[in-house]
């Protein structure tokens, strides 16, 4: 659906991504992990069409992403950025309505209310966005994304969710709830690309894991193949951190000794 082929991207004389290839596929939840500064958010911006690579190609359904209009991109994917500042006194409902309007909803207010209810914020419609807690603001923004992509498939075409740290500022219950909604979207035929820092949540929810390190793909595949002591030691600088639970699913103990 959405592919990156050998993309490179530099800023300020520093190469942020170097020959990265990645496919965001329908019916899969792809999770990117890696340390700070690895290039995760840059890669998401390139794949979502927000910025263009210096070299290489990003394509959507075989078309160069640069050939798609803003409207065409909005019809194909919805994006939750890492942070989003709002300068105007919007209500929670008004923020989510933006997503419904981008989708082309015939009743944006109704669809925005439905999206707020999906993230557990029914009754928050008239609340000032600025007065909400950080976690509540994060869930409002996730509701906006859901209002823009209310179904995984539209007119026979899979849609995509791009989620940059969707669990930041959330308690563990809401972290799991958000990721379950994202996984259900993928199960329904859509494509999901999410950036996570919690390696255990990544192992639990990812169909495909991509480990970025210094702008390159250090490992790619299932959790069992990518979350190994060798990979975690090389990328994060800790050793002896990875264990296994029944079923061979890996888990990571961050208090493990440093290299």
Confidence (pLDDT) at 255:
58
Question: Per-residue pLDDT averaged across 173-202, rounded?
Answer: 97
Confidence (pLDDT) at 129:
94
Contact status, residue 210 vs residue 22, Cβ threshold 8 Å: yes
Q: 248 or 3: which carries more pLDDT confidence?
A: 3
Confidence (pLDDT) at 83:
78
- Which CATH architecture describes the domain 2-227? 3-Layer(aba) Sandwich (3.40)
CB proximity list for 185: less than 8 A, separation 6 or greater? 149, 152, 161, 192
Contact status, residue 161 vs residue 80, Cβ threshold 8 Å: yes
Each residue of 116-162: pLDDT tens digit?
Answer: 999 999 999 999 999 999 999 999 999 999 999 999 999 899 999 99
pLDDT at 245 over 90: no
Each residue of 65-123: pLDDT tens digit?
Answer: 999 999 999 999 999 998 777 778 899 999 999 999 999 999 999 999 999 999 999 99
pLDDT at 15 over 50: yes
Each residue of 202-233: pLDDT tens digit?
Answer: 999 999 999 999 999 999 999 989 998 889 88
Confidence (pLDDT) at 252:
81
Distance CA(162)–CA(30), nearest Å, equals 10
Provide the pLDDT confidence category of residue 251 given band limits of 50, 70 and 90: confident
Give the start-to-end residue ranges of the domains of the chain. Answer: 2-227, 228-259
pLDDT at 256 over 50: no
Distance CA(64)–CA(58), nearest Å, equals 6
Phi, psi for 129 (deg, rounded to 5): -60, -40
Gyration radius of the chain's alpha carbons: 18
pLDDT at 258 over 70: no
Instruction: Using DSSP, state whether 14 is helix, strand or coil.
Output: strand
pTM for the predicted model, two decimal places: 0.93
Q: What percent of the chain has pLDDT over 90?
A: 80
pLDDT at 250 over 50: yes
Q: 165 or 82: which carries more pLDDT confidence?
A: 165
Each residue of 16-28: pLDDT tens digit?
Answer: 999 999 999 999 9
Mean of the per-residue pLDDT values of the chain:
92
Closest residue by Cα to residue 59 from 47, 71, 75:
47
Each residue of 101-117: pLDDT tens digit?
Answer: 999 999 999 999 999 99
């Amino acid at each position: 659906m959405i592919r990156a082929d050998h993309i490179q991207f530099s800023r300020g004389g520093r190469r942020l991504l170097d020959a990265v290839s990645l496919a965001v596929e329908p019916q899969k939840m792809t999770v990117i992990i890696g340390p700070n500064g690895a290039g995760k958010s840059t890669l998401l911006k390139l794949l979502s069409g927000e910025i263009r690579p210096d070299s290489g190609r990003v394509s959507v359904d075989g078309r160069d992403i640069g050939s798609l209009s803003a409207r065409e991109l909005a019809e194909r994917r919805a994006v939750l950025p890492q942070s989003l500042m709002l300068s105007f006194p919007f209500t929670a409902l008004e923020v989510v309505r933006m997503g419904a309007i981008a989708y082309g909803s015939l009743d944006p207010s109704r669809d925005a209310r439905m999206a707020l209810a999906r993230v557990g914020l029914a009754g928050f419609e008239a609340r000032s966005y600025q007065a909400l807690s950080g976690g509540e603001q994060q869930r409002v923004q996730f509701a906006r994304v859901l209002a823009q992509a209310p179904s995984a498939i539209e007119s026979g075409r899979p849609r995509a969710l791009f989620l940059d740290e969707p669990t930041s500022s959330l308690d563990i219950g809401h972290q799991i709830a958000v990721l379950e909604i994202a996984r259900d979207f993928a199960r329904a035929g859509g494509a999901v690309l999410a950036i996570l820092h919690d390696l255990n949540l990544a192992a639990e929810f990812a169909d495909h894991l991509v480990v970025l390190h210094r702008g390159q793909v250090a490992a790619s595949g299932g959790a069992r193949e990518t979350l190994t002591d060798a990979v975690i030691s090389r990328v994060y600088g800790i050793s002896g951190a990875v264990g296994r639970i029944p079923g061979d699913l890996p888990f990571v103990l961050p208090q493990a000794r440093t290299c």
